[in-house]
């Protein structure tokens, strides 16, 4: 989701974008249905998969300055645009409903992360991914044990004081242990050519992850709250499920043809908007973490995506989607190699 603008002229992988679309659909479902079964099925992987993909598509050798510029264009710019729009929306609603201006609202918005209330509660993800990518860029030239030690130590601290780590402004605290998912994605990409039976391997990986979750051995993950589940095991399950889904997509999506692939790529390009805006739809429809319903879920999924598809063809696209404006049809590949990160 954060990688589209980085190499806009490269051909894209519909398989990787299908994983993004699946992850986004799962995120919306997780917010639309406040159900323990939904939580158990989706929370173990639906956010970690985006960090994993960032590592899986990692472009090595980039200097930190270039990384900052690229991530600012794909993540920070739309984050600020939607934060301003969302803040104005909340302010107008409060004034119209007679609740007045909350003096702490602006401060909470600036702090980001867990400090931002509904309907902007998914904004934490953007800054967490941003800082995780920047930290990983700083660590990439170190030996793998050092790249593992820094986020590993942060994970240990997070297990001990999750609320303290989660409360660090702009989700910088949870970004550090999340680097483990980026590292896992990079390692997975390196060993991907050695996997001779990706579909079987992917199904097996997902099955093992599902078994660990369904038996209660591995608890769900809620990165925003600093909850990384069962120590070590939940992180491993998230990585296993993410890699398994990628392997399955790399086999299945090419068989669906280029037309389906083009649709998937178009949807994935608007992913960041869907991530940030769908809670506003839920909020407007009166759900906001209630039991939820299928019409509510479908509305929260379809409305932001329709808006994203429309904005993709305007000059606003770089500002609100983090991707260049759509022009001529792009080269869409159904295989596994996607835009670099």
Domain count for the chain? 1
pLDDT of 5: 41
Q: What is the pLDDT of residues 268-311, one digit of tens each?
A: 999 999 999 999 999 988 865 456 788 899 999 999 999 999 99
Q: Kindly tell me if the per-residue pLDDT of 233 is higher than 70.
A: yes
pLDDT of 263: 96
User: Within a domain: residue 7?
Assistant: no
157 lies in which domain range?
12-333
> What percent of the chain clears pLDDT 70, i.e. is strictly above it?
91
User: Within a domain: residue 77?
Assistant: yes
User: Within a domain: residue 254?
Assistant: yes
Integer Cα distance of 67 and 59 in angstroms: 10
329: confidence class by pLDDT, cuts 50, 70, 90: low
* Mean per-residue pLDDT over the chain, rounded: 91
Q: What is the pLDDT of residues 135-186, one digit of tens each?
A: 999 999 899 999 999 999 999 999 999 999 999 999 999 999 999 999 999 9
The pTM of this model reads: 0.92
User: Within a domain: residue 315?
Assistant: yes
**Which CA distances in Å does 96 have to 90, 91, 93?**
10, 9, 5
User: Within a domain: residue 1?
Assistant: no
User: Within a domain: residue 339?
Assistant: no
> What percent of the chain clears pLDDT 90, i.e. is strictly above it?
79
């Amino acid at each position: 989701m954060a990688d589209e603008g980085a190499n806009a002229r490269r051909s894209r992988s519909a398989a990787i974008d299908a994983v993004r679309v699946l992850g986004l659909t799962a995120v919306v479902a997780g917010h639309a249905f406040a159900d323990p079964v939904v939580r158990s099925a989706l929370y173990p992987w639906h956010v970690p998969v985006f960090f994993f993909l960032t590592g899986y598509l990692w472009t090595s050798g980039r200097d930190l300055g270039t990384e900052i510029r690229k991530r600012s264009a794909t993540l920070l710019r739309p984050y600020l645009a939607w934060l301003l729009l969302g803040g104005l929306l909340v302010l107008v609603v409060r004034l119209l409903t007679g609740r007045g201006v909350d003096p702490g609202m602006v401060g909470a918005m600036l702090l980001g992360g867990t400090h931002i209330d509904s309907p902007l509660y998914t904004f934490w993800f953007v800054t967490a991914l941003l800082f995780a990518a920047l930290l990983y860029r700083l660590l990439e030239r170190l030996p793998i044990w050092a790249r593992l030690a820094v986020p590993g130590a942060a994970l240990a601290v997070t297990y001990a004081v999750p609320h303290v780590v989660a409360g660090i402004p702009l989700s910088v605290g949870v970004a550090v242990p999340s680097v483990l998912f980026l590292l896992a994605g990079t390692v997975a990409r390196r060993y991907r050519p050695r996997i001779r039976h990706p579909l079987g391997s992917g199904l097996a990986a997902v099955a093992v992850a599902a078994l660990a979750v369904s038996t209660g051995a591995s608890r769900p993950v809620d990165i925003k709250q600093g909850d990384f589940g069962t120590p070590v095991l939940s992180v491993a399950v998230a990585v296993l499920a993410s890699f398994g889904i990628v392997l399955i997509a790399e086999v299945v999506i090419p068989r669906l043809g280029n037309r389906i692939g083009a649709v998937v790529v178009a949807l994935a390009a608007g992913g960041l908007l869907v991530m940030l805006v769908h809670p506003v739809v839920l909020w407007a429809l009166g759900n906001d973490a209630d039991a939820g319903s299928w019409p509510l879920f479908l509305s929260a999924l379809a409305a932001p995506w329709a808006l994203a598809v429309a904005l993709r063809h305007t000059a606003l696209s770089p500002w609100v989607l983090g991707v260049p404006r759509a022009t001529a049809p792009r080269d869409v590949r159904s295989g596994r190699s996607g835009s670099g990160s």
